[in-house]
Amino acid sequence: MCIAQCSRCVGTALIPMAVVCMVANVLLLFPDLKYRYLSEHHVTKEAVLCSGIWASGFLVLVAVRGFASHSDQKGCCYFRTQMLCKFGYTCLALVAAGFCFMVSGTGLALGPLCLHNGTKGLKWERPLKQVKHGDTLYLYEPERWASACEEPRGVVTWNVILFSVLMAASGLQLIFCAIHLLTAILGVLCGPNCCKNKVVPA
């Protein structure tokens, strides 16, 4: 059945994206691959929220398990019930991936938390965030990155790459889940025979 095949394909595609999100979020917790920044609370709150681990990671994998569920029980009512369950799992995955996408976008826009040498001396802050509306986003001024932070080493590039990976992976999850949502709705409305070609005799 084409709807079941679509569910399996979407589920298979979501698994590596979920793993990528989890790995990227774990790395965000350890700038310069050192634990002390996390233990001293010098990691951005967007990374500490761990949306890539529990939202685009664990919850999406739970939804994938729901996509793959299948029974040999037949009947139009049972099929529609199964499609409603898959619809619910898809909504869960959509909300989870959307949350991760928004959190990652916020973390990317605000820039990293780092030890910055400002007018008041060394201080832990987010020196690259926009002070007022209309300021140029630091992402378009890479020449500022090297001098913005004293430590952790290379934290600006670290955050830009990993938050971008999170946004890309969770964005792809949103697209695949939206496709699966349409398939589940089609299955509920049309039943198990919606993909079968019927040959009408002449």
Q: Which domain does 179 fall in, by range?
A: 2-190
Helix boundaries (H) for 29-154 = 36-39, 45-48, 51-53, 60-68, 76-110, 145-148
Please check whether residue 35 lies inside any domain of the structure: yes
pLDDT in tens, 4-46: 677 788 889 999 999 999 999 999 999 999 999 999 999 999 9
- Say yes or no to pLDDT of 182 above 50: yes
Question: What is the residue type of 89?
Answer: Y
Please check whether residue 110 lies inside any domain of the structure: yes
Please check whether residue 199 lies inside any domain of the structure: no
Please check whether residue 176 lies inside any domain of the structure: yes
Among 112, 122, 144, 130, smallest CA distance to 29 is for 112
Provide long-range contacts, Cβ within 8 A and 24+ apart, for 133-141. 137/109, 138/111, 139/108, 139/109
Q: Does residue 31 or residue 69 have the better pLDDT? A: 31
Please check whether residue 101 lies inside any domain of the structure: yes
Q: What is the pLDDT of residue 198?
A: 46
Q: What would you report as the CA-atom Rg of the chain, rounded to the nearest whole angstrom?
A: 22
Q: What is the pLDDT of residue 79?
A: 74
- Say yes or no to pLDDT of 134 above 70: yes
Please check whether residue 172 lies inside any domain of the structure: yes
Per-residue confidence band for 66, with pLDDT thresholds at 50, 70 and 90: confident
Please check whether residue 177 lies inside any domain of the structure: yes
- In this prediction, what percent of the chain has a pLDDT beyond 90? 68
pLDDT in tens, 156-165: 999 999 999 9
Please check whether residue 198 lies inside any domain of the structure: no
Domain count, the chain: 1
Angle at the Cα of 48 from the Cα atoms of 176 and 172, rounded to 5 degrees: 10
